[in-house]
Structure 1
Amino acid sequence: MSVEQLPGVEEIAQVPAALQVVAGPEWEDGNGHVNVAHFYGLHLRAAEAALQRIGVDDDYRTSRRLGVFSMEQHLRFLHEVHIGEELSAHVRWLDRGDKVFHGISVVVNRTTGQIANTLEVLEGHVDLVARRATPFPADIADRIDEAVAAHRGLSWQLPLSGAIGVRR
């Protein structure tokens, strides 16, 4: 999928922003644009907000001793971002298996009206005591499935790596 075929910002906004920020001067690298570390941090903060919405939060980790570990990621840059530009991050749920989910986080440059970058992820659900993958509890699985179903109904797609996904 070329940059010209990407969905528009108004389409991405069909998935509510997990967060909005302005790129601060401390984000700038030697090339005069936002450094990759800050994008990565923005994607992680958006993912944490999306996980909290389905019930995977500090209480979940403490009371159930369950959590989510990153298994695979693909960060794709589409347009550069400069200091002072307003950004939003949106998380789209793509699929779920018994112990994993596949998703993509999108950073939109609200100042320029362009998609800046995406982070495609495969996350594993783990038992924090045994440190091993374990199936999602029914309540969390249902919430993920609801989000996946809602997002599958969207009319737009984003380029995916082709290497990450739920194996059946």
Structure 2
Amino acid sequence: MPALITYRTPIQKDWVDYNGHLRDAYYLLIFSYATDALMERIGLDADSRGHSGNSLFTLEAHINYLHEVKLSTEVWVQTQIIGFDHKRLQIYHSLHRKESDEALAASEQMLLHVDLAGPKSTPFGDRTLQALEQIIEEQRNLPKPKHPSRTIQLSKQHDD
């Protein structure tokens, strides 16, 4: 399977900071839209959410800012499923542009399937599980993500 492209957009003027770079918050916005598109792909679109009362909540998100992104750059998000269990989904988004094979940014996220009436966690439905299994199968030959499960820490601690 070629990469699963979940979102495309040009960088908007109001998304850019005083240095001419994409503001930190807008990386997460772009990745959030990619998650929405993934939800549609796995059967958790607006109609399904309205019918089932189930959705995904983000439990944790890490962003790696790898290269600068400037105004009007056309970007897209590639999404890879890292893994899932009966009610959690671990995904990896990477942000790309035409001029480079390298990712501009990456975001690893842990999502939880939730019954909105609680709200409380709930197992995925069969349709979603089948869609996730299909994507995992289609992505089995993709290279492993470069920046998953990283932690923030200083390599050298200062005692002053």
Q: Same fold (TM over 0.5)?
A: yes
For 1:20 and 1:37, the matched residues in 2 are separated by: 17
TM-score by length of 2: 0.87
2:73 matched to 1:85? Answer: yes
For 1:15 and 1:45, the matched residues in 2 are separated by: 17
Aligned twin of 2:64: 76
1:103–1:121 contact (8 Å) kept in structure 2: yes
2:60–2:111 contact (8 Å) kept in structure 1: yes
For 1:158 and 1:148, the matched residues in 2 are separated by: 17
Rg larger in 1 or in 2?
2
For 1:56 and 1:76, the matched residues in 2 are separated by: 27
Aligned twin of 1:151: 139
Aligned twin of 1:139: 127
Q: Cα deviation per residue 1:99-149 (whole Å; 9 max; x = unaligned)?
A: 101001111022444311011000000111121111111121111121122
2:51 matched to 1:63? Answer: yes
Query: What 5-or-longer segments of structure 2 have no aligned partner?
Result: 152-160
Instruction: Give the aligned CA root-mean-square deviation in angstroms.
Output: 1.7
- Following superposition, the deviation at residue 50 of structure 1 comes to 1.2
- Following superposition, the deviation at residue 63 of structure 1 comes to 0.5
Aligned twin of 1:101: 89
1:28–1:34 contact (8 Å) kept in structure 2: yes
Q: Cα deviation per residue 1:76-112 (whole Å; 9 max; x = unaligned)?
A: 1110111121111111111111110100111102244
Aligned length: 151
Following TM superposition, the consecutive aligned residue runs of length 4 or more in structure 1 with deviations greater than 4 angstroms are: none
For 1:46 and 1:89, the matched residues in 2 are separated by: 7
For 1:38 and 1:76, the matched residues in 2 are separated by: 13
The structure whose residues are more often strand, as a share, is: 2
Which segment is superposed worse, 27-36 or 13-22? 13-22
- The aligned runs of 1:118-137 (5 Å cut-off) are 118-137=106-125
Aligned twin of 1:45: 33
2:92–2:145 contact (8 Å) kept in structure 1: no
For 1:67 and 1:31, the matched residues in 2 are separated by: 37
1:96–1:145 contact (8 Å) kept in structure 2: no
Corresponding residue SS for 1:93: strand
2:61–2:108 contact (8 Å) kept in structure 1: yes
For 1:140 and 1:82, the matched residues in 2 are separated by: 36
1:80–1:116 contact (8 Å) kept in structure 2: yes
The structure whose residues are more often helix, as a share, is: 1
